[in-house]
Amino acid sequence: MKGSNLCDLFFQELKKYNATNFKTLLEADLQQDNPVVHKACSSVVTRYFIFIEKHPELSDSEAKLLYFKLKIDLIARYFSEYPVSSTSDLVPFQEEMRRYVQRTKEEMNYGEFNTAV
């Protein structure tokens, strides 16, 4: 499976599992210390391992690719260094998430455009 497709599948399942956490992470101001954001970020790490368990067809290398491509390693580092950690470790995951949302919006708009032509 291609890396971007794998990331998209992860984000789809993350959103489906808990749309509130998904929206929280998407819109969060990561410069602010916020327990709601901490909970949402913590759930990402847990959901990653559930995702890997749910998809046994993924190879070890695909699982590792996803972990590092989505910057889940940085979220894990944030929690391992808490309370002296930097919220800047959470930003790369949020950026990946925002790119996913932008891609899906563009695909929806493209699909609507194609059916109108």
Question: H/E element holding 30?
Answer: none
* Full pLDDT tens readout for the chain, 117 residues: 556 789 999 999 999 999 999 999 999 999 888 999 999 999 999 999 999 999 999 999 999 999 999 999 999 999 999 999 999 999 999 999 999 999 999 888 765 545 444
The residue ranges of every structural domain in the chain are 3-116
**pTM, to two decimals:** 0.85
H-helix or E-strand containing 7?
helix 3-17
